[in-house]
């Protein structure tokens, strides 16, 4: 699972063998984990993140 970016306590990474799924990125902070689809940007799943933190992550994707 290659790490793409580490910033502000977040680790952005992907699994190289998830060919059957649309393009997405995993985000981890401590024991919390989320997965975002890239086209269109949308939350796919999450575990442990608060709603306000997920919204912050989603907004950061939308303006990137």
Q: What is the pLDDT of residue 64?
A: 62
pLDDT digits (tens, 9 = 90+) for 5-62: 999 999 999 988 888 889 999 999 999 999 999 999 999 999 999 999 999 998 887 7
Which three-class secondary structure string do you get for 11-27? EEECCCCCCCCCCEEEE
| Residue 34 β-bridge partners | 27, 46
């Amino acid at each position: 699972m290659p790490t793409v970016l580490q910033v502000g306590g977040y680790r952005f990474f992907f699994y190289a063998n998830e060919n059957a799924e649309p393009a997405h990125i995993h985000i981890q902070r401590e024991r919390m984990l989320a997965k975002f689809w890239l086209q269109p940007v949308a939350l796919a799943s999450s575990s442990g993140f608060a709603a306000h933190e997920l919204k912050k992550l989603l907004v950061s994707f939308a303006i990137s």
